[in-house]
Amino acid sequence: MAALPGRINRLEQALRQICDEVDRLKQEVKALEDENARLRQEVAGLYLAEGEDSGANRPGARNLWNLYDKGFHICNLYFGKGRDGECIFCYALMNRGEPSDGA
C-alpha cells in the first residue's frame, strides 16, 4: 500500500484538475447561455418585425403561432424556450395582437 501522504497528494492534484475542469465548463456554459440569449432576441426581433409589417394578413402572427405549436414560447418572458403545456403569456401576447372584428 502506498504511503498515506503520497496518496493524499495525488488526490489533491486530482481534485485540483477536476476543479479547473469545472471552471472551464462553467465558462463554456456562460458563453453558450449568452449566445443563446442573443440568438433568442434576434429571432424574436425577426418574428415581431414581420408581424408589424404584415398588415391585415399578419403572416408574422401566423409564424408566431406556428412556433408556439411546435412547442416554443413566443411571449417576451420565455421567447424561444421549449414549453410544457399552455402559456397564458403567449396567449395574452397573441390576443393583444389580434385585430378587432368591430363586432
Tell me if 89 contacts Zn ion by CB under 5 A.
yes
Total binding residues toward Zn ion, as defined by CB under 5 A: 6
The nearer residue to Zn ion, 11 or 39, going by C-beta atoms, is 39
Q: Is 61 in the site for Zn ion (CB under 5 A)?
A: no
Q: Which residues pair with 82 in a beta bridge?
A: 72
Site of grid cell 396567449: 91
Minimum distance, C-beta of residue 48 to Zn ion, in the bound complex (Å): 14
CA trace torsion 66, 42, 87, 68 (10° rounding): 10
Binding of residue 73 to Zn ion (CB under 5 A): yes
Element (H, E) at 48: helix 4-53
Is 44 among the residues that bind Zn ion (CB under 5 A)?
A: no
